[in-house]
């Protein structure tokens, strides 16, 4: 059962009251720590914290602990707001960090850019593990249509971020399993020797390969049925950006890697005033030689 409490700042706080035992009065505790939200349509997404579910309303939803939080995920009230989940009218959700110092991971990958959430995503917020799920799809795996992936990816702020050729990893959007991309690359396909095995008839034995290059990570298509990145089928190969979604068969993976550190321009050295030449020293006055007076002639 979900309850709703409207705070003075007009934000509806999040929470879920436990279902009472049979025969118990169906009344909320007056001083319950968690308060709920107004009744939401059954298809609205939820955040699972332990055995409790918190519905997400359309618009921004603040996750963390303490003052100003909509969904409490930890007991430490000093944690503050760590993440914000923006929910669109069609229930699609995008998660972003509340600030540069916020500690947020999605399926084990540190969150940098705003990232679309999918059913079953595992979130780590301030060291606490929670789950994102669609209340109407509990127990089912959500396979997003290519057009939905493209539309969700377009909601990132700014352009796609290039990566370095280190720290490459793929996270399965099916079960949350993480695969590191080694220095010699990783293959994806139906063959049991593949680094990532996708056991589907429409997947080739060697369907695709991801390997580091001088400028980041490249994915190359070796298949007949194609590789899709953010809903677009590859021609042959493409450089990957952080948070790209790769689809092979019906399986989807989110890519991540280290991003280059942009060095701040060095501050110009402080200007040094030109040295002032010393004032010329005054020369002592030169005494003029005495002028001899003429000698008067002595009269004879």
Instruction: Evaluate if residue 25 carries a pLDDT over 50.
Output: no
Q: Which residue has the higher pLDDT, 237 or 139?
A: 237
- Buried b or exposed e, range 52-74, using 16+ CB within 10 angstroms: bbbbbbeeebbbbbeeebbbbbb
Q: Which residue has the higher pLDDT, 128 or 286?
A: 128
Q: Which pLDDT score is estimated for 17?
A: 43
Q: Which pLDDT score is estimated for 295?
A: 60
Per-residue pLDDT of 142-192, as tens digits, reads 344 444 444 444 434 445 677 888 989 998 888 778 899 999 999 999 988
Reported as a pLDDT band with limits 50, 70 and 90, residue 19 is very low
Q: Which pLDDT score is estimated for 80?
A: 92
Could you tell me the two tokens for 201?
């008839």
Q: Which residue has the tokens 């990570």?
A: 217
Q: Which pLDDT score is estimated for 237?
A: 94
Q: Which pLDDT score is estimated for 62?
A: 95
Compute the chain's Rg from CA coordinates: 35
Helix (H) or strand (E) holding 170: strand 169-172
Per-residue pLDDT of 205-227, as tens digits, reads 999 999 999 999 999 999 999 99
Looking at residue 213, the DSSP 8-state letter turns out to be E
- Give the torsion sign (CA, 62, 67, 71, 76): positive
Q: Which pLDDT score is estimated for 50?
A: 84
Instruction: Evaluate if residue 3 carries a pLDDT over 60.
Output: no
Q: Which pLDDT score is estimated for 145?
A: 44
Looking at residue 8, the DSSP 8-state letter turns out to be T
Q: Which pLDDT score is estimated for 149?
A: 41
Q: Which pLDDT score is estimated for 204?
A: 94
């Amino acid at each position: 059962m979900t309850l709703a409490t409207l705070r003075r700042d007009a934000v509806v706080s999040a929470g879920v009251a436990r279902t009472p035992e049979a025969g118990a009065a169906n009344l909320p505790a007056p001083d319950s720590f968690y308060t709920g939200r107004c009744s939401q349509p059954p298809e609205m997404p939820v955040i699972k914290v332990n055995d409790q579910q918190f519905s997400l309303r359309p618009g921004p939803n603040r996750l963390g602990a303490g003052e100003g939080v909509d969904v409490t995920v930890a007991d430490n009230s000093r944690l503050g707001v760590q993440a914000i989940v923006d929910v669109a009218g069609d229930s699609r959700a995008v998660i972003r960090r509340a600030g540069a110092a916020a500690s947020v991971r999605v399926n084990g990958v540190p969150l940098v850019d705003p990232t679309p959430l999918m059913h079953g995503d595992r979130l780590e917020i301030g060291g606490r593990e929670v789950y994102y799920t669609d209340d109407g799809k509990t127990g089912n795996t959500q396979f997003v249509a290519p057009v939905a992936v493209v539309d969700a990816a377009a909601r990132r702020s700014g352009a796609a971020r290039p990566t370095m050729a280190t720290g490459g990893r793929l996270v399965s959007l099916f079960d949350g399993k993480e695969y590191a991309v080694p220095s010699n690359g990783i293959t994806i396909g139906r063959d049991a020797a593949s680094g990532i095995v996708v056991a589907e008839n429409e997947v080739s034995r060697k369907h695709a390969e991801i390997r580091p290059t001088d400028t980041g990570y490249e994915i190359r298509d070796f298949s007949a049925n194609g590789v899709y990145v953010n809903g677009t089928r590859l021609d042959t190969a493409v450089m990957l950006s952080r948070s790209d979604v790769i689809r092979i068969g019906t399986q989807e993976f989110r890519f991540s890697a280290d991003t280059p550190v942009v060095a701040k321009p060095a501050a110009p050295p402080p200007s040094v005033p030109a040295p002032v030449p010393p004032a010329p020293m005054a020369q002592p006055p030169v005494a003029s030689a005495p002028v001899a007076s003429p000698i008067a002639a002595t009269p004879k």
